[in-house]
Amino acid sequence: MERNNLESELLALLERQQQAWPLCGSNFAGLKDVIFRDFNVNGNIVRVQCNPARVRSSCANTSATAIAEHKCFLCSANRPVQQEMVRWRTYDCLVNPYPIFSRHFTIASVNHEPQALNSVIDDMADLAALLPNHFVFYNGPRCGASAPDHLHLQVGVPQELPLFWNNNHLEQMCYRVANSNPSCTAAKVKELVSQWSTADAQEPMVNIIMRQQGGMTHAFVFRRKTFRPWQYDAEEPDRLLISPATAEVAGLMITPVIQHLEKITADDIRSIYEQCIELPATHQIHVGICPTEGCNLSIDKEGLNVLDNVPIGINFHWHQRQRQRFEGTMRIAEIDGQKMYINDIDVESYLRSVISSEMSPDAPLELLKAHAIISRSWVLYPLIAPSKTSKQGQGQGQKQELNLRTHIRIYEREQHHGFDVCADDHCQRYQGVHQHLNKAVKEAIDATRGMVLTYNGEICDARFSKCCGGQTELFSTCWNDCDDRTRYPYLVSKPDPYCNPQQYPIRHFMLNGYDQKTTDYYHWQITLTGKQIQEIVKTKTGIDLGEITDLVPQQTGPSGRLKTLLFVGTNQSLLVGKELEIRRLLSDTHLYSSAFHIEKPSEGIFILHGRGWGHGVGLCQIGAAAMAESGATYQKILQFYYPGTEITLI
């Protein structure tokens, strides 16, 4: 049976050792007086600490010859007589007498055996779960282990490592895995590291950190390119005595030489990282911004791409043009005979703009976190699970069926070619480097980095809309016909009590500026004449139905949204679908939604009484905002709108 008091035993051991072992007590006391400097390196806070007591580790000769010539300081027979231990499984838990953390332990194998990840990774995950106020770390035999001949782990304090500081982006430099089951986290780490096996059969070069937080065991895996940077062996004045191990790659660089602390620069740190760390590959996506005609491209003083007159809300009632700035690269591609601007950018940078564009950056943080996860899931779904996406039923179809002319059109992302997603509401809003990007948006992206929504282990096609009007809708009502229960079991139709401005009012500024102008989205009404509808249909489809004499609902979804609607004209009738096309053919722009009932007060007059704004599938932004305002966490929000799903790190 596992011991649940190991953490308290180690704290008691530390207190005893500081009092009874002068070397240990002196070195821990000395941590209070260490000199350090903080640097901003590519948006990361990196702390450089001068710790003369660590010269033994920083200058350790780890060659096979040197190891053979010295006694192993981790073997029980060679330890100082003052050094005590606590036994856990097949390990001796020791206080590290040369600490860099205020609580620093070494977990050494009872047996003298080589440092090897596969021998220790399961124990590492379990140990992290037993020490919730600490983190556990592993230095590979060629990545900073000062005793590569003796299997061991180390334990430190999360609050003292820059990797775990708020708004630090060091986790962008590593692969991240998390699971509520420590064994699953360990298995995923093994699977990841096995991909980097080398021809010489040596263990891949890695540094690994595990930590228990929020009910999950998190692993941070740094893939190494080299052991030490060129500066380590350089002659003065270029020499920097820094030998990167786990602490260094996680943002805490140790040098035993005060002169090296004083002269190091942010460029030096950047150089060390570039030499020593293999950055994780990031998903790059290609965003179709707009046609080149009428939009001039320039570069601003910050080096960002600038486009003037970018259209947003195309064909919707908030249609306008903006001046937008973009990270990544901007190129011109010819698609279907038209030249377009294409923005190539990594997913996380893309999401910073999406979250700021879809909702106001001043919306509640938990809503922004939930939105970051679903927006990431939605955009990665066809890239990670391409076999799940359907390319059938796209475009416009007109055919004779029982003497009834049909016009069924489905608007999906698969209709794009030459780029992955567009920048407008057809996919999800992406308006470049948002002028209102604030700390909350950055925190939401950083806090959920790499997190996606999954169902039975597969990434979700996480749809969302502005306002469901009180009940969410099924996928098949709006897009391809399918068995929703098996194809999209997480996109259910259910009452949404939070989407009710009278009961759960949201603050007006949660919506972006141009969305705030739309005030009647929950309940709305529009009056049309048969002649007006005739002209709209003729303009948008080329079909002259004659004056419309009736509108007859044919199929509806559970929320009341129309799936197909029969337009009856004096010349002919036309069966129209699906949800978005019905909205398009009953407005010069688009109706708010297809959740409406029809009143005919007199011949040729149609009053549409509607609810909601958008297709209503998946998360309702208005309802989710109300949930967040009421104190719901992002986990609770996602479980409400996508039942049965899990949040998974990829």
Q: Cα–Cα distance between 493 and 473 in angstroms, integer?
A: 5
More confident residue, 229 or 313: 229
| pLDDT score for 396 | 40
CATH of domain 6-278: 3.30.428.70
Does the N-terminal peptide bond of residue 237 adopt cis geometry, omega within 30 degrees of 0?
A: yes
Query: Cβ atoms within 10 A of the Cβ of 166, count?
Result: 9
Identify any residues that bridge with 573 across adjacent strands, giving them in sequence order. Answer: 568
How sure is the predictor about 398, in pLDDT bands with cuts at 50, 70 and 90?
very low
What are the helix (H) ranges across 462-620?
475-478, 484-487, 513-516, 530-541, 579-584
Residue 395 pLDDT exceeds 60: no
Q: Cα–Cα distance between 267 and 246 in angstroms, integer?
A: 20
More confident residue, 280 or 521: 280
Burial class (CB within 10 angstroms; exposed 0-12, middle 13-18, buried 19+) of 321: middle
Digit-coded pLDDT (tens) for 172-182: 889 888 888 99
Arithmetic mean of pLDDT, 347-353: 84
Residue-range domain boundaries for the chain: 6-278, 284-516+616-649, 523-611
Residue 197 pLDDT exceeds 70: yes
Q: Which two tokens stand for residue 340?
A: 């377009």
Mean pLDDT across the chain, nearest whole number?
A: 86
| pLDDT score for 394 | 39
Digit-coded pLDDT (tens) for 50-98: 988 776 555 555 566 666 678 899 999 999 999 999 999 999 999 999 9
More confident residue, 66 or 498: 498
Digit-coded pLDDT (tens) for 521-578: 788 999 999 999 999 999 999 999 999 999 999 999 999 999 999 999 999 999 999 9
Digit-coded pLDDT (tens) for 401-446: 445 789 998 877 666 678 888 766 667 777 677 655 567 788 888 8
Locate tokens 């106020």: which residue? 133
Q: Cα–Cα distance between 59 and 255 in angstroms, integer?
A: 10
Arithmetic mean of pLDDT, 3-30: 94
Q: Where are the beta strands (DSSP E) in 111-250?
A: 135-139, 152-156, 175-179, 206-213, 216-224
Pairing of strands 596-599, 404-410: unpaired
Residue type, 73: F
Identify any residues that bridge with 557 across adjacent strands, giving them in sequence order. Answer: none
Residue 27 pLDDT exceeds 70: yes
